Amino acid sequence: MDIFTFSSFKGGTSKTSTSIHVGAGLAKFKKQKVLLIDFDSQANLSIGLGVGPDNVDTMVPVLKGEKAIKDVIRKTSISGFHIVPANAYLDGIERTPPLGSDPYAHERLRRALKSVEADYDFCFLDTPPSLSWLTQSAFYAAKYSVICAIPEAYSVLALRRLKEFQDQVRQNHDIDVFGVVLSFWDRRGAVNEEFLKQIEASFPDKLFMAKVRRDMTVSRAVLSGKTVFDFDNESNAAEDYRALADEFLARFTSGRSYD
């Protein structure tokens, strides 16, 4: 099982939608086994798959050593596509017993995932849009990171902070940037070239060719607790996420090296 963290230091970059739909596309169309971990106390990933934020089977008891991760995994409507939900109790968990007194608390997520590494092809970690303890733990558990951005100035500027953070993590943990996903794409955008240059400057040769266009189908699907593939498989969003999942798997299996 290869572990990826999906990250952004700015909200509104479709980070959660990207992790859901790349995972769902791999499971639905490529027959891959994918485990999603909602590691954000806002629980948007869980809600997007129809799991309420009041769910008690989350990573909280796993991190506390009260349950095994297999006990909190839930199936979705897509075969081979499973989720560990989140709720508000993830917020500030690092300050609660027994984590608060554990100098190696960051390692708990990585250790928990070892027990299911033979059950899945991929594990995707959806993180908060911040430099929180949860985000740091996800980076230390993952082998690769997927950076999510939109063609908007503050999003692109946040990439620089994310690159600095990734470089700091790499001093103690081997993690590679797998790719940069661009959402809310408008082919007619007046400053597209400038945004692309800025992304290339931060993460050279990492931008996925498949870009996700702005499509209200994503919001409607979230409100229905479904993926866009189940909600409207003929939509622009479904087409774009299928292309992104295809490119993701092709890039992964190509054997290319990552810096």
- In order of 51, 90, 181, the CA distances from 42 in angstroms are 12, 9, 22
Predicted pLDDT at 11: 75
Q: What angle do CA 91, 7, 214 make, to 5 degrees?
A: 110
Predicted pLDDT at 190: 60
Predicted pLDDT at 257: 41
The number of C-alpha atoms within 13 Å of 252 and in the hemisphere containing its C-beta is 20
Go through 69-86 and write b for each residue having 16 or more CB atoms within 10 A of its CB, e for each that does not.
beebbeebebebbbbbbb
**CATH number for the domain running over 2-253:** 3.40.50.300
Q: What is the pTM of this model?
A: 0.92
User: What is the token pair recorded at 255?
Assistant: 């054997």
Mean pLDDT by 10 residues, the chain (259 residues): 90 89 97 96 90 80 94 94 93 89 88 96 93 90 93 80 85 90 81 83 91 93 92 95 97 67
Predicted pLDDT at 113: 96
Give strand pairing partners of 34: 81, 122
Query: 176 with 160: CB under 8 angstroms?
Result: no
The residue ranges of every structural domain in the chain are: 2-253
Predicted pLDDT at 168: 86
Nearest Cα to 248, choosing from 202, 181, 199? 181
Predicted pLDDT at 202: 86
